């Protein structure tokens, strides 16, 4: 029986997907077995062959390092690395790009084959969904980490204030926060202490903290510290005032979030329900939804119009529920 091109394509993508997963698993967890195997093979390798292998490895490493150095000079690479730091992920931009390629192949294989039965529109949709899924995951991690940091801000300021009133210097108070507070606050303030210890000024270390944690509340604190170091004054009293302002803002934000919860949930449900129902109907009765794809421009135009209206409705509901404090 002859195989159609779609089956061959999906089989190739599925095989590549499996091989990438196996490669990632071996890379992350198989280092011990690989090193043991190399140790066993060393006794059978001649010195000439070992020297040739080492030279080839050195050439490959030099090529890879040179490629990384060229990429690191670009602003795009630096921005991507900052995004990883803000999300709290200990991966390099190269690994992130590899994950995006893996997600793209997985999206094509899963959405295009399971739900779309090889239809090119579903293949394209799966590729788009797979490519952008890691991006949305990074954004979600950044928002969650920033929310955790801001929820700990009041306790952080109280600890800083108590330390300053006990006679600590600013750096000693920051170090006490790094030792006493939970992550992510402890991680970020510990990094501030480490940067000061390796020779950076406190102002530069605090500015790097703002780049990693783009919090408006933290910006107030850093600005207060900078002004106090230039003109003097009681930093403890300033931090007390900022702490009171942040507590009131958190309280008002909580009340507003409670009052707008119904609108936000309704927007998400109304936006996802039509798409979910279409995918379910397409999986159960593909002949029913095939009318959209068999009518040419009219069918695709209806699908595009529906997606645009769904997206517009979701954005309008989210805009109504988004109240700045």
- Residue-wise pLDDT tens digits, 240-281: 888 888 888 888 888 888 888 888 888 888 888 988 988 888
Residue with token string 């000061």: 196
User: What tokens appear for 210 in the block?
Assistant: 């703002």
What proportion of the chain, given as a percentage, has pLDDT over 70? 74
**Mean per-residue pLDDT of the chain:** 78
The answer to whether the bond into 233 is cis (omega within 30° of 0) is no
Q: How far is CA 293 from the centre of its chain?
A: 35
Q: Is the dihedral of CA 40, 41, 47, 52 positive or negative?
A: negative
Distance CA 238, CA 102 (A): 49
pLDDT band at 28 (very low <50, low <70, confident <90, very high): very low
Task: Check residue 107 and give left, alpha or beta (phi > 0: left; psi -120 to 50: alpha).
Answer: alpha
Pick from 29-33, 67-71, 125-129 the range whose average pLDDT is largest.
125-129
pLDDT band at 106 (very low <50, low <70, confident <90, very high): confident
User: What tokens appear for 73 in the block?
Assistant: 């000079």
At residue 30, the pLDDT reads 45
pLDDT band at 144 (very low <50, low <70, confident <90, very high): very high
The average pLDDT across 301-309 equals 86
Distance CA 80, CA 135 (A): 11
Question: Comparing 92 with 280, which gets the higher pLDDT?
Answer: 280
The average pLDDT across 70-75 equals 66
Question: What DSSP character marks residue 260?
Answer: T
List, as one string, the DSSP characters of 112-145.
IIIITTT-HHHHHHHHHHHHHHHHHHHHHHHHHH
Question: Comparing 69 with 162, which gets the higher pLDDT?
Answer: 162
Lowest mean pLDDT, pick from 29-43, 76-90, 94-108, 121-135: 29-43
- Residue-wise pLDDT tens digits, 10-21: 555 555 556 556
Question: Comparing 66 with 133, which gets the higher pLDDT?
Answer: 133
Residue with token string 């050195």: 58
Following CA atoms 291, 296, 301, 302 in sequence, which dihedral angle do they give, to the nearest 10 degrees? Answer: -10
Residue with token string 């071996």: 26
At residue 61, the pLDDT reads 56
Pick the closest to residue 159 from 141, 175, 144 (CA basis): 175
Residue with token string 């936000």: 264
CB 274 within 8 A of CB 310: yes
- Residue-wise pLDDT tens digits, 146-202: 989 988 888 999 999 998 888 888 889 999 999 999 988 999 999 999 999 998 888
The average pLDDT across 50-75 equals 61
Q: What residue spans define the domains of the chain?
A: 5-28+57-146, 152-256, 260-321
pLDDT band at 2 (very low <50, low <70, confident <90, very high): very low
Question: Comparing 155 with 120, which gets the higher pLDDT?
Answer: 155
At residue 75, the pLDDT reads 72
At residue 59, the pLDDT reads 56
List, as one string, the DSSP characters of 157-199.
HHHHHHHHHTT--HHHHHHHHHHHSPTTHHHHHHHHHHHHHTT
Lowest mean pLDDT, pick from 50-54, 76-80, 174-178, 317-321: 50-54
CATH of domain 152-256: 1.20.81
Distance CA 157, CA 152 (A): 9
CB 109 within 8 A of CB 17: yes
> Is the whole-model pTM more than 0.85?
no
- Residue-wise pLDDT tens digits, 197-233: 998 888 899 988 988 998 888 888 888 888 888 887 7
């Amino acid at each position: 029986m002859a195989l159609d091109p779609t089956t061959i394509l999906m089989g190739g993508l599925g095989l590549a997907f499996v091989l990438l997963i196996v490669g990632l698993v071996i890379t992350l967890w198989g280092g011990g077995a690989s090193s043991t195997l190399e140790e066993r093979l060393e006794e059978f390798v001649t010195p000439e062959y070992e020297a040739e292998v080492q030279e080839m490895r050195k050439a490959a490493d030099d090529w890879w390092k040179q490629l990384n150095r060229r990429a690191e000079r670009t602003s795009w690479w630096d921005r991507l690395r900052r995004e990883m730091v803000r999300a709290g992920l200990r991966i390099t931009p190269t690994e992130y790009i590899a994950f995006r390629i893996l997600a793209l192949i997985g999206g094509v294989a899963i959405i295009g084959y399971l739900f779309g039965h090889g239809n090119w529109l579903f293949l394209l949709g799966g590729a788009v969904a797979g490519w952008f899924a890691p991006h949305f995951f990074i954004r979600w991690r950044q928002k969650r980490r920033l929310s955790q940091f801001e929820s700990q801000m009041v306790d952080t300021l109280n600890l800083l204030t108590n330390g300053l009133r006990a006679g600590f210097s600013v750096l000693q108070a920051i170090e006490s926060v790094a030792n006493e507070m939970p992550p992510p606050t402890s991680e970020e303030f510990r990094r501030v202490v480490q940067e000061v210890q390796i020779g950076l000024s406190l102002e530069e270390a605090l500015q790097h903290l703002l780049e990693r944690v783009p919090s408006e509340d933290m910006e107030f604190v850093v600005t207060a510290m900078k002004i106090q170091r230039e003109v003097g004054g009681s930093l403890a009293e300033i931090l007390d005032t900022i702490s009171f302002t942040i507590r009131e803002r958190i309280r008002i934000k909580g009340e507003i979030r409670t009052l707008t919860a119904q609108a936000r949930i309704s927007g998400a449900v109304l936006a996802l329900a039509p798409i979910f129902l279409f995918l379910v109907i397409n999986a159960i009765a593909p002949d029913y939804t095939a009318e959209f794809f068999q009518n040419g421009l009219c069918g695709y135009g209806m699908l595009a119009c529906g997606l645009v209206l769904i997206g517009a409705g979701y954005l309008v509901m989210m805009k109504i529920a988004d109240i700045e404090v």
